Amino acid sequence: MKVLITGASSGIGKSLAIEFAKLKYDLVLVARDIIKLKELNDKLVKKYNINVTYFNIDLSNKDQCKQLYNKVKDVDILINNAGFGDYGKFNETDLEKDIAMINTNIIAVHILTKLYLKDMKSKDSGKILNVASIAGFLPGPLMATYYATKNYVVKLSEGIREELKKEKSNVKISVLCPGPVRTNFNNVANVKFEIKSLTSEYVAKYALKKLMKDKFYIIPGFDIKCIRILSKIIPTKIFAHFTYYMQKRKNK
């Protein structure tokens, strides 16, 4: 069994790689930080005696996404984990960073999901885990682009799930929607969280357990589950007001 994990050099991606290694899955690890990838590769091979391949790829480049697919075939589980955020008023944040975020959080997920899903459907087996966020259910003032990208990931996954269900396909798709996690995301996005953060290790173990049970929405943490429930009840306008003040307190 082969698992492809993007954004595997740190955070949730790295923790997922370790959890799959414990189960003796072969791994394909993708990230931009080649040094961290090699360190993780060496650790996993030595400790778990598994096959690991790693690629230094910039997923904000759509051509490199396609190149990854051409290099790596016969994937049993695809985990689209790579992504980042940014804090600030929409008219003040850097446009190029926004575009890179959209390319990484949306375009790369779209390309890899589409290409690998075709292969999985042809053999009628496989799993896809798209890593979104609780932000995928909410409006996101002061992090508008990031929240919008995660909304896209959630809605894309929901649409694919229904298509697979109607076709009675054995291919399964899931979407992981954590709240704050103690990872390098906070530094890149320039935020800190008021809500207690979960560890990436906890999120990875929880996600793997639910993924193997074919659960679609994977939402670790009681507080975050409550926010998901409230998002269904409270009008968007009110939730946007509430979210704005939560976001404002994050700014360093």
Q: Could you list the active site residues?
A: 146, 150
Q: Which residues of 74-100 are buried (b: 16+ CB within 10 A; e: fewer)?
A: ebbbbbbbbbbbbbbeeeebeeeebeb
217-218 β-sheet, strand order: 52-56, 26-31, 2-6, 77-80, 127-131, 172-176, 217-218
Give 215's contacts (C-beta < 8 A, 6+ positions apart).
174
Give 210's contacts (C-beta < 8 A, 6+ positions apart).
174, 218
Local structure of 173: helix, strand or coil: strand
